[in-house]
């Protein structure tokens, strides 16, 4: 009897382990089935070859979203502005700067790059957030909601672009990131502050579908002008903000990402293991049965 039950349990364990492993492998293989952006998704398109680095979008974004200036320690044009409180000069994205223009320079070549939330189609931050504080809206914006957030900062850990910022020096800090101007009401009027002010139309706003068509059109019309790719087409499973550039994207700080979203990988495993909670319930029943037998047998022996 004893040996029988043991082998029964061993068999079960084997089946269980197999069941846990197979979907993981299967899932990595099928991760290419990316989520499609809907026709309602709005987005932005930044063409680095058109950007003149005027930073008008930075100013407009701060104004629209009521963000504080960050005074930099810069020595500009021989004028020593150490600890200057004259102008806003952020060095990187932060809780006060959710949109930034950076300059890349190497020898003769140079390029600007605009950074803000990418409003990913299948966003890691949305998938990871335990309390639904980050939501992919129907209009495509990935937004953060104050009341829902626990400040676990998982979004900072899983965003491939390190976009969400946290107010570490506040006793009850917030997550801050570009909301595609959803909070300040501009998005509802089909505008965003940064695209509104761009004098060279380097960054434009519109339906993601149309923006993609436009990007591919430009790429085809003048291949020599660009590096041959639309960044955001497939990167990370597709982005809501797409890019064109002459300089390789990696040099501009846009990471080389796989053509699927890790959110899909993670959710795939999660869904297969816990589908309808069947596996955990079956395991529970089996263990309770085994424990009951073990317990009653040993009570008799006592």
User: Can you give the binding site for ligand SF4, defined by CB under 6 A?
Assistant: 61, 64-65, 98-99, 116-120, 123-125, 128-131, 133-134, 142, 144, 149-155, 159, 161, 163-164, 175, 177-181, 192-194
Minimum distance from CB of 91 to other proteins (Å)?
Answer: 13
Partner whose binding site includes residue 192, from ligand SF4, other proteins, none (CB under 5 to 8 Å by kind): ligand SF4
Residue 126 Cβ, how far from other proteins at the closest point, in Å?
8
- Give 38 or 96: the residue with its C-beta nearer to other proteins: 96
**β-bridge partners, 198:** none
Q: Pick the closer one to other proteins by CB: 103 or 285.
A: 285
CA-closest candidate to residue 117, choices 73, 76, 152, 65: 65
DSSP 53: -
Which residue, 59, 175, 186, 78, is CA-closest to 128? 175
C-alpha 220/C-alpha 224 separation (Å) is 9
- Pick one of ligand SF4, other proteins, none as the site partner of residue 258 (Cβ within 5 to 8 A by kind): other proteins
54 or 273: CB nearest other proteins: 273
CA distances from residue 131 to 123, 127, 153, 161, 268 in whole angstroms, order as listed:
15, 10, 12, 21, 19
Dihedral angle at the C-alpha atoms of 262, 264, 265, 266, nearest 10 degrees? Answer: 90
Q: Give me the least distance between CB of 138 and ligand SF4, in Å please.
A: 15
Of the pair 7, 132, the CB lying nearest ligand SF4 is at 132
Per the structure block, which two tokens stand in for 88? 């806003």
Query: Between 81 and 94, whose beta carbon lies closer to ligand SF4?
Result: 94
Strand partners, 103: 112
Closest CA to 199 of 87, 52, 14: 52
> Which does residue 99 bind out of ligand SF4, other proteins, none, counting CB within 5 to 8 angstroms by kind?
ligand SF4
CA-closest candidate to residue 107, choices 255, 253, 247: 247
Footprint of other proteins (CB under 8 A): 2, 5-6, 9, 20-21, 24-25, 27-28, 94, 124, 127-133, 148-154, 156-158, 160, 162, 164-174, 255, 257-258, 262-263, 265-267, 269-271, 274, 280, 283-285, 287-288, 290-295, 297-298, 302
Residue 291 burial by CB count (10 A; 0-12/13-18/19+): exposed, middle or buried?
Answer: exposed
């Amino acid at each position: 009897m004893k040996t029988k039950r043991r082998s029964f349990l061993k068999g079960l364990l084997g089946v269980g382990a197999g069941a846990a492993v197979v979907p993981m492998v299967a899932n990595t293989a099928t991760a290419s089935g990316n989520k499609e952006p809907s026709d309602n998704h709005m987005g932005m398109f930044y063409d680095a070859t058109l950007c003149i680095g005027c930073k008008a979008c930075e100013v407009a974004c701060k104004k629209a979203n009521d963000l504080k200036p960050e005074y930099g320690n810069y020595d500009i044009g021989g004028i020593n502005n150490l600890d200057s409180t004259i102008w806003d000069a952020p060095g990187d994205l932060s809780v006060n700067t959710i949109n930034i223009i950076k300059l890349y320079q190497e020898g003769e070549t140079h390029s600007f790059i605009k950074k803000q939330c990418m409003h990913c189609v299948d966003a890691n931050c949305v998938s990871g957030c335990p309390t639904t504080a980050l939501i992919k809206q129907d209009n495509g914006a990935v937004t953060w909601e104050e009341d829902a957030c626990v400040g676990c900062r998982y979004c900072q850990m899983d965003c491939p672009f390190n976009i969400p910022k946290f107010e570490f020096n506040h006793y009850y800090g917030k997550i801050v990131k570009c909301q595609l101007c959803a909070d300040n009401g501009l998005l509802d009027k089909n505008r965003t502050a940064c695209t509104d002010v761009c004098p060279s139309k380097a960054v434009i706003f519109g339906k993601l579908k149309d923006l993609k068509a436009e990007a591919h059109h430009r790429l085809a019309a003048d291949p020599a002008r660009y590096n041959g790719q639309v960044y955001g087409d497939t990167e990370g499973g597709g982005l809501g903000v797409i890019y064109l550039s002459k300089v390789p994207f990696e040099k501009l700080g846009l990471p080389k990402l796989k053509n699927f979203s890790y959110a899909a990988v993670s959710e795939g495993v999660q869904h297969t293991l816990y589908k309808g909670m069947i596996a955990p319930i079956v395991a529970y029943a089996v263990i309770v049965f085994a424990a009951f037998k073990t317990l009653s047998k040993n009570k008799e022996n006592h």
